[in-house]
Amino acid sequence: MNAVESKVDLSVKIGGLTLRNPIMPASGTFAEGLEKVLDFDRLGACVTKTITRELRTGNPLPRVVERPGSLINAIGIPSKGVAYFLEKTMPHYAGYSTPLVVSISAPTAEGFASLAAELTIPGITAIEANISCPNIEEDGKAFAMRAESTEKVTRELRKATNLPLWVKLTPNTGEMPDVARAAEASGADAVVVANTILSMAIDLKTFRPCLGNVMGGLSGPAVKPIILRQVFQCAKAVDIPVIGCGGISNCDDAVEYLIAGASAVQVGTATFLQPKTMTTIIDDLERFCAHRDIGRVSDLIGGVVIEEADEPDLAWLDPIS
């Protein structure tokens, strides 16, 4: 490290955990293959693809379709199961000093809890609970659609593990601040805002859905304004850190999230287009701060300036033209 680099302190705190910088991958868009293009030891954290206890096939093909400025995916959660993960995938990350965050999913609160318990072992730094998946006890509605189901699953998770617990929310609900508050109240150390936005595309040649799963989740630059708003709302609603995730492609996008209230950000789809996006953002973020004499990147968090006059309560609910 030379003098220029060390001028800016890039580290951020997520609960008790200090990350060397606020840039990390989004679950499902990161794996060992990326080692070929960037040094995992530069990242704030490594976040795995969501794993489940059992083997899962994933969704029928086609699994992705592109739209202007966006990707719709319906990969599903193909998973080789937790045993395979422990034996084959985890050792891969042992060589890195970067915290390993394991994303998990299960169809029941109890399933989440027992998986988290099993993963509470050395080598795993934090658990990210992907609760955007269907809750079979609630008629298949995703846990994160409602505050009650979020509270229940988070409480079970909290009992099951003493690792830092991040809860990843779905953007497909109208009650996100309530859901975030429920996660906080039941012990989450951070919320990740957010997963993909439920979407659809139809092939006009065949009149069939473009995705084997009919519907899929939207990601990429197109979703940024929506998820940024959700990060802003959630950061106002809770005291725990919010990790922003949606459409981040460059340093400006990351900074926009930080000043909206995110304490760190995850990069997903952008990695598919430019595989080095994360390290480019880390470099540029340092330059952005140095250029503006911002000594610590954490000073950016929640820095959006809102005039009192701009902030009539109803206006937030009345943006509609």
Partner 1 sequence: MNHMHPHHFGSQTEASPHHPVVAELTDVLKNEPVNEEYYHLVVRCSPEAAAAQAGQFFQLLCPHSGEAQPFLRRPMSVYGMNPQTRELEFLYKVTGAGTRGLATLRPGDQLDVFGPLGTGFTFDPSWRSIVAVGRGAGLATLAPLARSAKERGIHVTAILSARRPDLLVSVDLFRSFGADVVTVTDSRQTSGPANVERILRSLIAENRCDAFFTCGSSRLMRVQQRLAHEFDLPGQVAMEQQMACGIGLCYCCVRDFNVDGEIVSRRVCWDGPVFDLKEALP
Q: How many CB atoms lie within 10 A of CB 259?
A: 17
Reported residue count of the chain is 321
Q: How far apart are CA 134 and CA 70, in angstroms?
A: 24
Q: Within positions 26 to 45, which residues make up the interface with partner 1, using CB under 8 A?
A: 28-37
The set of residues, in sequence order, having a beta carbon less than 8 Å from that of 92 and lying 6+ positions away, is 32
Tokens of 93: 């990350």
Say if CB 227 and CB 171 are below 8 A apart. yes
The set of residues, in sequence order, having a beta carbon less than 8 Å from that of 112 and lying 6+ positions away, is 104, 105, 106, 129, 131, 153, 156, 157, 160
Q: In this chain, which of 21, 27, 161, 170 binds ligand FMN, going by CB under 6 A? A: 27
Q: In this chain, which of 248, 255, 260, 301 binds ligand FMN, going by CB under 6 A? A: 248
Percent of residues in the chain assigned helix, strand, coil, to nearest 5:
40, 20, 40
Q: Within positions 83 to 112, which residues make up the interface with ligand FMN, using CB under 6 A?
A: 103
Q: How far is the CB of 68 from partner 1 (least distance, A)?
A: 5
213 contacts ligand FMN (rule: CB under 6 A): no
Q: Specify the residue, 8 or 264, whose C-beta has the smaller distance to ligand FMN.
A: 264
Say if CB 77 and CB 48 are below 8 A apart. no
Active site residue 133: yes
CB-closest chain residue to ligand FMN? 28
Q: How far is the CB of 74 from partner 1 (least distance, A)?
A: 9
216 contacts ligand FMN (rule: CB under 6 A): no
Rg (CA), the chain: 19
Contact pattern from residue 137 through residue 176 relative to ligand FMN, giving x for each residue in contact according to CB under 6 A and a dash for the rest: -------------------------------x--------
Q: How far is the CB of 175 from a copy of itself (least distance, A)?
A: 7
φ, ψ (nearest 5 deg) of residue 22? -90, 15
Q: In this chain, which of 52, 59, 98, 130 binds ligand FMN, going by CB under 6 A? A: 130
| Count of residues that interact with partner 1, criterion CB under 8 A | 38
Tokens of 144: 């994160």
**Which residue is catalytic, options 133, 234, 245, 289?**
133
Question: Among ligand FMN, partner 1, a copy of itself, none, what binds residue 228 when CB lies within 5 to 8 Å by partner kind?
Answer: a copy of itself
Q: How far apart are CA 173 and CA 282, in angstroms?
A: 31
Single out the segment in contact with ligand FMN by CB under 6 A; choices: 8-16, 147-155, 262-270, 309-317.
262-270
- Residues noted as catalytic: 133
